[in-house]
Amino acid sequence: MDMNGGRKRNMKGHVVVISYPATGHTNPMLQFSKNLASRGVIVTFVNFNLNHRKVIQARESLQRLKLDIRFECIPDGLPEDDSTLDSNINPAVFKHMQDNMDGSGLERLIHRLHASGDTPPVCCIIYNSFLPWVRDVANKLNIPQALFWTQSAAVFSIYQHFQNGEGLDCGRMPQNVIIPGLPELKLTDLPSAFMETSGSINYYLGQLEVVKDASWVIANTVYELEPETINSLRSTSLPFLPIGPSIPTSFLQDQNAEDTQVGANPWKAADCMGWLNKKPPLSVVYISFGSILVISDEQIQELAVGIQQSGQNFLWVIRAPPGHDHIAEVLPAGFMEETKERGLVVDWCAQLEVLSHPSVGVFMSHCGWNSTLDALSLGVPMLTLGVWTDQPTNSKFVTDVWKTGLRMRRRDDGIVGRDETERCIRMAMESEEGKQLRNNGLKWRELLKSSASEGGSSHSNLNAFAQEIISKAK
């Protein structure tokens, strides 16, 4: 199938796409690869030992779509038999990928691809910012490079604003921040690294260094969501190309019914459709905090009591935190039994399918950028609980700019309490304000759908990028 409306194109350009090995990065980059392949570009998608097996599960769905994406694996130097080294949850993996790795494995792979003659020469390397050494490989081999930005334009703009602030002292940040193209932000709206004194901010600011050598910054965002920010970034000649939302096209374009999944799940997805089918329209609170965030036992217990007090149906994606074998050990005694008629607790689900289901009324989310785009794409309002990295900024935009969510307020100890949880759920599910949030969400859904359709902003940017790659290969 040609996902781009049935037109056949000659396959000429060949790109290498390499993603940091965590779900929030591989998902949008794999979907982006599918969108390129459907426009006639050959893609070699590069994994690490750590995540190769999980990502190549996607092969099955790609074969159905007849897309030319080839998977390769390069060594990451991590022990192969250590099950705690899950890149979705282990901070040591992040450090290793940044500090210990070099580009020799990638370089060897590209030489091998060129020597085999199976594909045309690589004419662009596309990578995301947590793999800074890819820049050196592209420079050494004289291959054009593109940064794939997995977060919002606002977050890019914030990091860029502070990037030149030599020796940024996070202990002495101003309480309010004014950045061109952005609404006035409080310190607490900035990515969490600005509040940490550990020095982690240097990683986040440093990741933008690679932009100097990038011919494109391909961003998983949508022009219509962040026009002022994107205009402001472009006014500095930054080649910023919004191509999002990078989710399977069946959720955005009615004609592409077969492109339903990214296909690389970090955990087995539970089948929740039968359960959802039995629930009335807009009656279910869907709760998920993505693939990385570990929330404290106390926070889980407060949420559980609040959810129970709200009396609403709920589908909760949550896995046992480290130190526990099963989530039931952390949930309040009796919770599973008392809520079994109206609640379902699973490790992982097909989130886009769940959000598309008519029974789902609201999404309680950590506001990871992919989850935020999932909710906006499907028109589902959010209850936001952003805590880490870009999540507070996403939460600010969802609640105050796009006005399709309510922020869950924290107590002084940082916990969202049971009564606040109940209040927010009731407000989203039962009040006029909740209806307004849903109506706003549906407007964003329409805008995102049209941006992904023929003639829309993201669709046109994808076409233009693919054309440029193909013309480079001639």
Q: Give the residues lining the site for ligand UDX (CB under 6 A).
A: 23-24, 27, 150-151, 288, 290-293, 317, 348-352, 368-371, 374, 389-391
Q: Tokens at residue 156, please?
A: 């890019």
- Nearer CB in complex with ligand UDX: 294/464: 294
Q: Smallest gap, in angstroms, from Cβ of residue 75 to ligand UDX?
A: 24
Three-state secondary-structure class, residue 362: strand
Report which residue type is found at 423.
R
Q: Is the peptide bond before 132 cis (omega within 30 degrees of 0)?
A: no
In the complex with ligand UDX, the residue whose CB is nearer, 113 or 225, is 225
Residues 6+ away with beta carbon under 8 Å from 448: 222, 224, 225, 245, 252, 373, 376, 377
- Shortest Cβ distance from residue 400 to ligand UDX (Å)? 18
Q: Shortest distance, CB of residue 114 to ligand UDX, whole angstroms?
A: 32
Q: How crowded is the C-beta side of 3, counted as CA atoms within 13 Å? A: 35
Closer to ligand UDX by Cβ: residue 302 or 390: 390
Q: State the nearest-atom distance from the C-beta of 122 to ligand UDX, in Å.
A: 26
Q: Which residues are 431's β-sheet partners?
A: none
- Where on the phi/psi map is residue 181: left (φ > 0), alpha (ψ -120 to 50), or beta? left
- Closer to ligand UDX by CB, 68 or 347: give it: 347
Check if the beta carbon of residue 295 is closer than 8 Å to that of residue 321. Answer: yes
What is 274-300 written as a DSSP string?
Answer: HHHHTSPTT-EEEEE-TTT----HHHH
Closest CB 47 distance from ligand UDX, rounded Å: 17
Nearest distance, CB of residue 289 and ligand UDX, angstroms: 7
Choose between 157 and 291: whose C-beta lies nearer to ligand UDX.
291
Tokens of 285: 């609170």
Cβ closer to ligand UDX: 20 or 223? Answer: 20
Backbone angles phi, psi at 185, to 5 degrees: -115, 145
Q: What are the tokens at 39?
A: 């426009």
Q: Closest separation between CB of residue 320 and ligand UDX, Å? A: 15
- Of 71 and 348, the one with the shorter C-beta distance to ligand UDX is 348
Between 275 and 348, name the residue whose CB sits nearer to ligand UDX.
348
Q: How far apart are CA 151 and CA 433, in angstroms?
A: 28
Supply the minimum distance, in Å, between the C-beta of residue 319 and ligand UDX. Answer: 9
Retrieve residue 364's tokens.
């309680």
Residue reference for tokens 């890149």: 87
